[in-house]
Chain A
Amino acid sequence: MDLLSFLLVQCLNALSQAALLFFLGVGLTLIFGIMRIVNFAHGTFYMLGAFLGYSAVRVTGSFWAGLVLGPLVAGGIGAAFEMGLLRRLYKRDDSAFLMVTFGLTLVLGEIIRLVWGVDALQVQVPDSLSGIVFLLDEPFPVYRLFLVAAGAIVAVGIWQFLERTRLGLLIRATSQNAEMVHALGVDVNLVRSGIFGIGCGLAALGGVLAAPLLSASLGMAGNAIIDAFVIVIIGGMGSFPGSLLAAILVAFVQVFGTYYFPDFAMAAMYLLMLLVLVVRPGGLLGKEA
């Protein structure tokens, strides 16, 4: 493997990893930025997505159905949770959200265990994406290229959604000044439910997309939530472009760090986080000082 093909493959590896990290981080940052809620259950929604994806593939035989159904169902559960419980807590301090989402993590995790059992479940890469392409003679999985593309599409989609649509405008406005938006006759509660649902749905989308690499397993949530936190913190809590930047940064540090300093693979991410926070306490693109 010559240097050029090595660099190309490693960069694509990093980008595909960045895509998965981005799906994980963006939903959390959206929820935090607008609702000021640190959603402990985010990793569990990611896991839920993977299991829903598995079932959707089993029932319909199509990965694409899973890609649609997983986020929809998870998003619905998230929105319902917001309407049923979180909504009653907006006047309370942050610790209430911490506890209630921690509780949700336990409950949802156990429900997943009861429904799908303890064994890891395989989700096949769809046939159309299961091949490889040769990049400078090195084989590279098509599915990983698809992940990079999916990450780019979702990033552009969210950006356009926030910039161009009425709902996107409302979301941005709500994050600035909820009372003002309320005074304009908009149902702020509905916007919040929507945001929480979308955030959870994005996590689930990440789960469905990660399932062909990892399988759907009960260990997913615990691993995912800390990654999601790191992405959101490095990028700046609540910053959408920040989460994208952080995902790419973390992925490159992980991929090249693991290659050259495998002993520091575990510490690399946290060192990066510490470094960023010491230099910019609010994260790369965060507002808070």
Chain B
Amino acid sequence: MRIFVCVALLLAMAPLGLPLFAMTLLTEALILGLLAMSLDLMVGYTRLISFGHAAAYGLGAYASGYLLLHTSLPLPFAVLAASVLAGVVAIGVAWVCTLAKGVSFSMLTLAFAQLLYAVAFKWTSVTGASDGLAGIPRTAGPFGVTVFQTKNGYYYFVLVCLLGAYLFCRSLVASPFGAVLRGIRENEAKTLSLGYNTRLYKIAVVAVSFALGGLAGALYSPFAGFANTELVFWLFSGQVLIMVIVGGQGTLIGPILGAAFFMLLEHVLSQYTESWALFFGLIFIGFVMFAPQGIWGLLTRRARA
């Protein structure tokens, strides 16, 4: 907890010391971190490997974008509504996906996400089809609060969402509910025979994971000012999964680091060489070979040694 407070304080002071653009990168890193952390609930804590987490992000991004463009809903409410929507949709998706287990579950999530991608491409009146939604504003309010309109104000909003979500997730995985998830991760058949309705628990965790992933997406679209189909594309789902694994699954904090690492590495590498994908790929392979526990595993091992 002491470390958490220190990191939170450090992040809260970031706007004082960091140049303008670093703040842009940091904000985006936190948003992606929230997304990766939400996926970790499924992957790391319940062993539900989702190949379709971009669906959560895209749902949130489109929903908050649509609300901000077409209604006068204040920003925090639009973001919240989008997150809830993602969670509710997830209940239906999870109801179907949990009919299957293992690889088949992953593939069903992929199918759903791609279907959503197709819908985003076709439902022009809501999603803007291939163009997506552009010019999504950061509206003022409620009660005349304008803090979200400024760059740093929005950063604090994202930070609060991330820290809140982190505390929520940490409490969730440590709770009795979390203990059952851990049981499902280690031995689902046994958990079922112990009298737990495992499918219900899985649907619940998918819903929570999607709601938080949707929150990340809902934060992204007013940040970037647009939402488009790339956010729902399967490739992005794969990348989020990689972020979780690179960071260290089942640690919550690891995936946040993984997301930041992924984004910053791509960003920086592509500044120095056109062949950034080459080095990007090599670094991933290196991670698999030499740091199987991910970034967080690497850090904590150093700390213990």
Chain A residues proximal to chain B, CB less than 8 Å: 38, 40, 85, 88-89, 92, 94-96, 98-100, 102-111, 113-114, 222, 226, 229, 233, 237, 263, 266-267, 270-271, 273-274, 277-278, 281-283, 286, 288-289
Contact = CB atoms under 8 A, between A and B. Distances in A.
Given A102-B284, A110-B281, A274-B108, 11 more contacts: A89-B288, A95-B245, A98-B238, A99-B288, A100-B288, A103-B281, A103-B288, A106-B281, A110-B278, A266-B118, A270-B118
Interface stretch (B13-21, B76-84, B98-106): B98-106
A212 B241 CA distance: 35
A273 B284 CA distance: 30
A233 B278 CA distance: 29
Contact of B104 (A40, A85, A110, A281): A281
B232 to A, nearest CB: 12
Given A99-B242, A226-B234, A267-B122, A288 B102 contact: yes
B118 A98 contact: no
Given A111-B278, A226-B234, A267-B115, A99 B287 contact: yes
A94 B238 CA distance: 14
Given A98-B242, A110-B275, A277-B108, A270 B114 contact: yes
Contacts of A85: 285, 289
B231 to A, nearest CB: 16
Contact of B285 (A95, A107, A114): A107
- Summarize B's interface: helix, strand, loop or mixed: helix
Interface size class of B (residues with CB under 8 A): 35 or more
B103 A222 contact: no
- Summarize A's interface: helix, strand, loop or mixed: helix
Contacts of B246: 99
Given A98-B245, A110-B281, A266-B121, A278 B287 contact: no
Contacts of A96: 288, 292
Contacts of A104: 281, 285
Nearest to A36: B103
A98 B119 CA distance: 27
Interface of B: 49, 96, 99-104, 107-108, 110-112, 114-115, 118-119, 121-122, 234-235, 238, 241-242, 245-246, 249, 275, 277-278, 280-285, 287-289, 292
B288 A226 contact: no
26 contacts: A38-B103, A40-B238, A85-B285, A96-B292, A99-B288, A100-B285, A100-B289, A102-B238, A103-B285, A104-B285, A106-B278, A106-B281, A107-B282, A111-B278, A113-B275, A114-B278, A226-B234, A229-B107, A229-B110, A237-B103, A237-B107, A266-B118, A267-B122, A274-B96, A277-B111, A288-B104
A270 B284 contact: no
